[in-house]
């Protein structure tokens, strides 16, 4: 089965955790791009929020792409921290916290970090909806979910 067909089949499952995971990938791109672009802002209160946005991007990479925990050299403490976010509710909570931090950045100075806050909030809502509907977490196979990590071993 080709990758595009496989992703289309996953989207048809109506499992909101898959939607949340793909929204998380969008969060990675936005947090990384907006974190870098806002570091070079004139307003000094925005710089810490930009750094936090970059850190969020790195954390989300490891949360959403579990295959990276197997191939990147990380500490056992970091691995334990990332493995805490294997359920829909835990993922919703971390996305919620990250979103709130970026919403607070508007208080310092309104910047494009609001886009990261919105998308992080949306990803958190998708994971919360999956939890409320009683859907088990189902990771996308294209992102290193079920089966892909075992093929590497």
What confidence score (pLDDT) does residue 144 get?
63
Contacts 24+ apart (CB under 8 A), 41-50: 41/109, 41/111, 43/108, 43/109, 43/111, 45/108, 45/109, 46/105, 46/108, 46/109, 46/111, 46/113, 49/101, 49/102, 49/104, 49/105, 49/108, 49/113, 50/113
Q: How far is residue 61's CA from residue 23's CA, in Å, rounded to a whole number?
A: 12
Decide: 101 and 49 in contact? Cβ < 8 Å: yes
Contact residues for 108 (Cβ-Cβ < 8 A; gap 6+): 43, 45, 46, 49
What confidence score (pLDDT) does residue 50 get?
97
Residue count (the chain): 153
pLDDT digits (tens, 9 = 90+) for 18-77: 999 999 999 999 999 999 999 998 889 999 999 999 999 999 999 999 889 889 999 999
Q: How far is residue 34's CA from residue 151's CA, in Å, rounded to a whole number?
A: 35
What confidence score (pLDDT) does residue 137 get?
85
What confidence score (pLDDT) does residue 92 get?
98
Decide: 14 and 130 in contact? Cβ < 8 Å: no
Which pTM value belongs to this model? Answer: 0.86
What confidence score (pLDDT) does residue 150 get?
44
What confidence score (pLDDT) does residue 153 get?
42
What confidence score (pLDDT) does residue 152 get?
44
Q: Is the pLDDT of residue 124 over 70?
A: yes
What confidence score (pLDDT) does residue 8 get?
55
pLDDT digits (tens, 9 = 90+) for 70-120: 899 999 999 999 999 999 999 999 999 999 999 999 998 999 999 999 999
What confidence score (pLDDT) does residue 4 get?
57
Decide: 20 and 127 in contact? Cβ < 8 Å: yes
What confidence score (pLDDT) does residue 136 get?
87
Q: Is the pLDDT of residue 3 over 80?
A: no
What confidence score (pLDDT) does residue 149 get?
45
């Amino acid at each position: 089965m080709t990758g595009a067909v496989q992703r289309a089949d996953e989207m048809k499952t109506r499992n909101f955790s898959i939607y949340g995971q793909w929204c998380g990938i969008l969060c990675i791109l936005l947090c990384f791009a907006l974190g870098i672009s806002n570091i070079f802002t004139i307003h000094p209160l925005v710089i810490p929020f930009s750094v936090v946005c970059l850190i969020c991007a790195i954390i989300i990479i490891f949360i959403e792409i579990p295959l990276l925990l197997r191939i990147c050299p990380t500490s056992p403490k970091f691995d334990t921290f990332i493995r805490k976010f294997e359920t829909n509710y835990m993922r919703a909570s971390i996305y919620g916290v990250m979103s709130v931090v970026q919403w607070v950045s508007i208080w310092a100075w309104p910047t494009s970090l609001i886009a990261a806050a919105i998308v992080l909030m949306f990803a958190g809502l998708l994971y919360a909806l999956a939890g409320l509907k009683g859907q088990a977490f189902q990771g996308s196979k294209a992102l290193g979910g079920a089966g892909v990590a075992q093929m590497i071993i």
